[in-house]
Amino acid sequence: ADLQIAVTELATNSIAHAGGGGVLHVWRTGEHLVCEIHDGGWLTDPLAGRLAPRQDGIGGRGLVIVQALCDLVLVHTAPAGTTVRLHLRLAGA
């Protein structure tokens, strides 16, 4: 369920904020499932997803939710696009 929510949040961000789409890659390491999404968007806030959004604002919670659900979230952003890689520990690993 955590994976479904996290990937849905990232996909929604790609659709809503990065020109309508992105590319998703999924693979397994020894103990983790890794999902990476790349799109053409650019995060101008270096702390996006690391700080709670303003209470009176609409939106801004997607990356915060992803950070809360995943074991590790790596974000690389530049004018050429953004890549978010999330790691979820597999059950029983």
Enumerate the β-bridge partners of residue 37.
Answer: 24, 84
40: pLDDT confidence band, cut at 50, 70 and 90?
very high
49 pLDDT band, cuts 50/70/90, is confident
Written as six digits, the tokens of 35 are 């999902």
E strand map for 40-89: 72-78, 81-89
> Helices 2-17 and 62-69: crossing angle, nearest 10°?
150
**How far apart are alpha carbons 62 and 28 in whole angstroms?**
23
Give the type of residue at 32: H
Instruction: Look at domain 2-89 and name its CATH class.
Output: alpha beta
The predicted-structure confidence for 54-72, as pLDDT tens digits, reads as follows: 777 666 688 999 999 999 9
* Cβ neighbours of 56 (radius 10 Å): 5
- Hey, where are the domains in the chain? 2-89
The overall pTM is greater than 0.75: yes
| Owner of token pair 């999902």 | 35
